[in-house]
Amino acid sequence: MSNFKNYRIGFYGVEASFSHEALLKYFGNEVDTLSCAEFKDVFDALNDDHIKYGVVPIENSSTGGILEVYDLMRDYGFYIVGEKCIKINHNLLGIKGTKIDDIDEVYSHSQAFLQSKKFLIEHQDWKLIPYFSTARSAKYISEVKLKNKACIASEKAGELYELDMIKSNINYNKNNYTRFIVIGKEEIDCENKDKISIVFTLDHKVGTLFNILSYFKENNLNLIKIESRPIVDKPWQYFFYVDFNGNFMNEDTKIAMEGIKNNCKYFRMLGNYKSDF
């Protein structure tokens, strides 16, 4: 993408969070940034023009989609303009001198608990306390300065907040990646766009989803992911979020999109952008 020095970029979490790492790897180190405590805060900041782009996680290779972010993408009507995949290594951290036998409370984001569940099963006497983010958990542990409290966070967060590494790489999947999306109010032009994200709804009838998916096969488009989210007040009906390889300027992609739009109750393009994997 182009030069971003004059833009402010929002992200979920605090400095040394995985979202912050994704932001720096995508935009570089010289951009102005805005830390946001909640996913929705990133979307609100973009909606109110406090930032030009936002960076939020949308799925993890171990635990799947982050459903709140899917819902926010639909509710706010923003576009995915890019993505960055970050390898996630979770570590058990505590203040200087903390030993594993000292611990009875562990703070972290709920996703980190899920991704570290095999390690945590071995310590069922610990109280797991969900917190805003992994990096904010590290910040909190550095402030309370109690050896009975630990956190699960990145090595960078441990370095920033001067915490000891009690146990490294506790996530059960050693190829644990999180995909972060870059969101904006408008689509942007960039070279080599090769990934498209869409969302749609269908009539609650036999064969409707099968018919939609046939457009991908007929036009030689590789379907990467499909995620469903319930429609409020319409039991057993869903929004379908789909990622696939394609460029909207290609004829096969245009034909497929036209067919899909014509057979959906609701359709929206979420973005055509360059994939990171």
Q: Are 151 and 17 in contact (CB under 8 A)?
A: no
Cβ atoms < 10 Å from Cβ of 186: 7
Strands 195-201 and 149-153: unpaired
Helix (H) or strand (E) holding 74: helix 67-76
CA dist 38 and 146 (Å) reads 26
CA dist 236 and 170 (Å) reads 37
CA dist 174 and 91 (Å) reads 12
**Among candidate residues 13, 10, 7, 16, the one with its CA nearest the CA of residue 162:** 16
The active-site residue out of 27, 39, 180, 244 is: 180
* CB environment 138-155: b (16+ within 10 A), e (fewer): bbbbbeeeebebbbbbbb
Residue 93 β-bridge partners: 151, 165
Instruction: Mark whether 119 is an active-site residue.
Output: no
Instruction: State how far the alpha carbon of 3 is from the alpha carbons of 26, 28, 192, 276, in Å.
Output: 11, 9, 18, 19
User: CB-based contacts of 233: which residues, under 8 Å, 6+ apart?
Assistant: none
**DSSP SS3 for 204:** coil
Instruction: Mark whether 180 is an active-site residue.
Output: yes
The active-site residue out of 33, 98, 134, 178 is: 178
Active-site positions read 178, 180
